[in-house]
Every structure is written in structure tokens, then in C-alpha cells.
Amino acid sequence: MESQSKSAIRPGITRPDSVGAAHSPFSRPGLLARVGPFALVAVAAEASLVLPPGTRVSTALIVSLVLLAVIALAFLLPWGRLPAWTPVLVPLTCTGWALALTLAAGTVSGIGLVVLIPLIWSVLFHRPWESACVVAAIVAAEIFMSVTQSVPDAVTARRVVLWAALGALLAVSTHGLRDRIRRSQQETAQLQERLRELSIIEDRDRLAAALQTSVVQRIFAAGLKLQGVLTLPLGEKARDELESSVTDLDDIIRLIRQAIFGLENRLNGDGLRQRVLQLCTGLSPVPEITFSGPVDNALSADASDQLLDMLQKATGLIEPDAAHTWVDLRSGDDLFVVVTWTSPGGPPADGRLERDFSPLRDCAGQAGIAVEVEPIQGGTRLTWSLPLCVSPPLADPRGSSSPVDN
């Protein structure tokens, strides 16, 4: 009977912004809704040049159309395979497009505000350092326009100061808002996770109460009746069968208790229980796994990794034709690991036993762990132990008692 209990998987907290991956601003779901408003403004700005007074510099108009086409084609690039810094090239190219468009229309045409398009895009969907690059590019564009149009130095200085201040204001405030939104989403996810955990605990308590009244007590009563029958004169075979049945009932009660109170014992998919279950689930046949005591936090992180490594080596020694396999972790003075299996041919000969398990003993010896290998009736048993943490967390007190003292 397997006593595995599925641990809840904590849902990952997804970042609400797109800075987690370099290609996210250009390929994540919802791309059309994100790009559409910017594309409409850009096309409207280009189309507005047909209105009076028209285009003043034809070459700048051609450059702006080429840059706009380059920006549109950039969304087709495989951003996931490009370096992490490359996404900043898109808003920088957009800044060049805004500069060319402004030069084509003239500074008095009122079209210069299109330079805000790359800035707004970057502060919404890029990282802070990328926004800083775009602000610097905008300031450089304003200086370039001032120089090419022989604007007085005072006007140039005013443009630099105002555009730098405006860009910094938008960048700082928007990135701060994004951070607050991300923290709010993380807190919401944590609250939802806590609510889910409380719901699991409530379901566990309800299940425990139902099994206690409807199943465990009846099994316990049946065991007492069988123990009472043992006091009657019986044949040796019948007595052995009854004793075996009482033992089986005790084991059933213990496994039911572990299934109830071990369910989501830590509510953590990274606990030692869950890691052992994941390791053993891949074995064939799947072993019967039992845990006794507070196993999840009984060991340090290094000792847990050591245990899993040795357990993997130990289970790798099990014969493919093993009839039954048990893995038992018991937390007492130390954390004891017992791996037992039965084989149709019985335990191996002493020489083969020593030869097969010598690599495992050598590996354990390097870590200062003693592994006991012993033949049992019809099979083999491995046992080793690891020291517990200094102050392991207390287990659920309900999980440390059983209706039947095994």
C-alpha cells in the first residue's frame, strides 16, 4: 500500500512587467494590443505631413519612413535568441525616427511631440537602464535639432534641461508605479496561496475526523476482536494467521494516519518528503514509502542532498525482478533510512552482497555515514542514519500519535 501524498504545487509568481526576458516586449501574448496604439500614432504622424505646410526636407521624410519600416520588422526578430541588451535598440531606433520626422516637418510644425513615443514605450515595457538610454537619446536629438537649425544657445539649454527633466520624471514615476504593481500582485498571489493552504488544512482536518470515526475506529475494533480470539485455544497455523492479520491492521491504521496528517505536512513542494516521493515515483516497481516523525525539516540542506544521493544509489541496486520494495524514513534521535526489498530468488549470497554494495559503502564512508547491509527472509535491507538539525521544527502533535501503538 503506497502512502504517497501529493503535495500542493506553489504557483509561481509571474512578473507583471516584461523585463524578465529580453524578447518579452515584442513576442509576449497581447502584443497587438500593446503595439497598436503606438503604431496608430506613428502612422498618423507620418500621414499628417500631407497637410500644409507639407514636407520641408524630403530626405528626412524618406529616412523616417525607412526607420518606421525597420521598427515594424524588428517585431519579427527572434528576440529570445538575441543578447539581453538588444531590445533597447528598438526605442532608440524609434527616437531616430522621431528626429527624422521632426526635421522633415520642421520644428514649428508641432510634430515634435512624437519624440515621446519611444520614451513612453520604454518606461512601460523596458528596464530602467533602457529608459535612461532613451532619455539620453531624446536629449541628444533635441541638441541635434537645435544645432542644425541654428537655435540660440539659451533655447538649446532650455530644451536640454526640460526634455531631460521630463524624461526623468516619466521614467522614475512609471518604473516606480510598475514596481508597486508588481509588489501588489506578489502580495495578492501570496494571500491566495495562504488561502489555498488554509483550505487544504481544513480539508485535511475534515478528512481526518471522518476517517477517525468511520474507518480507523472500526479497524481498531476489529484488531481488538482478533486479539481477543488469540486468547482462545487455536491451532498453530490459525494463531499465526491471526497474529499476521492483527499486524496488518496495525500497519493499515499507521498508513492511514500518515496519509491524513502527512498530507501537506509542510505545504511545500521542496520539502524532503516531496523530494523522496519524486525520486521513488520514477522507480519500477514503485516502492511503498512511509515517513515517521517530522521528516521535512529534520536535516540541513546539505544533509538532505546527501540523503537523496545515497537513496538514489541504493534504489539503483534493487533487482528489476524485485517483488516488493519499501522505503522508510524515521525521525528519532537521528533520521534513519531503511530500504528493503524482496526478490523471488531470496537474498544474494554473502560474497555477492559484499561486492554489489561496496561502492555504496565507499561513497557513504567518504561522508562519514555507516551503511548496514543485511540479508532478511526473502530479500535485503539497507539501513543508514544522518544526524538531525539542532532545532528542527516541531511536528503537528496530531501526527505523532496513532490509534494503535505499533
Q: What is the pLDDT of residues 182-212, one digit of tens each?
A: 899 889 888 888 888 788 777 777 777 777 6
- Residue ranges of the chain assigned to CATH 3.30.565.10: 269-406
Instruction: Copy the grid coordinates of residue 79.
Output: 528576440
> Cα-flanking dihedrals φ and ψ of residue 105, to 5°?
-90, -25
Count Cβ atoms within 10 A of the Cβ of residue 129 and give its class: 0-12 exposed, 13-18 middle, 19 or more buried.
exposed
Query: What is the pTM for the complete model shown?
Result: 0.50
- Provide the sign of the torsion angle of the four alpha carbons 313, 319, 320, 324, taken in this order: negative
DSSP state of 23: T
CA distance 248 to 5: 21
Question: Which helix (H) or strand (E) covers residue 330, if one does?
Answer: strand 324-331
Q: What pLDDT digit, counting tens, does each position of 228-240 carry?
A: 776 777 777 777 7
Query: What 3-state DSSP class applies to 200?
Result: helix
Q: What pLDDT digit, counting tens, does each position of 2-13 carry?
A: 333 333 333 333
CA distance 187 to 185: 5
Question: Which helix (H) or strand (E) covers residue 376, if one does?
Answer: strand 372-376
Q: Find the range with the poorest average confidence among 102-106, 256-260, 261-265.
A: 261-265
**Averaged pLDDT, 37-43:** 92
| CATH code of the domain occupying 269-406 | 3.30.565.10
Highest-pLDDT range among 100-109, 124-133, 238-247: 124-133
Q: List the strands of the sheet with 372-376, edge to edge.
A: 288-292, 324-331, 334-342, 379-387, 372-376
Task: Please state, for a pLDDT cut of 70, what percent of the chain lies above it.
Answer: 79
**Residue 165 pLDDT > 90, yes or no?**
yes
Predicted local distance difference test score (pLDDT) of residue 269? 52
**Averaged pLDDT, 159-168:** 92
**Are 373 and 357 spatial neighbours (Cβ–Cβ below 8 Å)?**
yes
Which phi-psi region, left, alpha or beta, contains residue 346 (left: φ > 0; alpha: ψ -120 to 50)?
left
User: Taking the CA of residue 289 as centre, how many other CA atoms within 13 Å lie in the half-sphere pointing to its CB?
Assistant: 24
Reference 71, options 89, 45, 44; nearest CA is 89
**Residue 403 pLDDT > 50, yes or no?**
no
Q: How far is CA 97 from the centre of its chain?
A: 41
- Determine the Cα angle at 166 with ends 165 and 167, to 5°: 90
CA distance 349 to 389: 38
Reference 58, options 101, 17, 13, 3; nearest CA is 101
| Cα–Cα distances in angstroms (integers) from residue 299 to residues 303, 307, 362, in the given order | 6, 9, 22
pLDDT range class, residue 161, cuts 50, 70, 90: very high
pLDDT range class, residue 16, cuts 50, 70, 90: very low
**Residue 266 pLDDT > 50, yes or no?**
no
Top pLDDT among 260 and 68 is at: 68
**Averaged pLDDT, 282-311:** 80
pLDDT range class, residue 173, cuts 50, 70, 90: very high
**Are 13 and 76 spatial neighbours (Cβ–Cβ below 8 Å)?**
no
CA distance 151 to 250: 94
Amino acid at 90: V
Q: Enumerate the β-bridge partners of residue 334.
A: 387
**Averaged pLDDT, 375-384:** 82
Instruction: Copy the grid coordinates of residue 258.
Output: 500518515
Predicted local distance difference test score (pLDDT) of residue 43? 92
Predicted local distance difference test score (pLDDT) of residue 5? 35
**Averaged pLDDT, 85-92:** 92
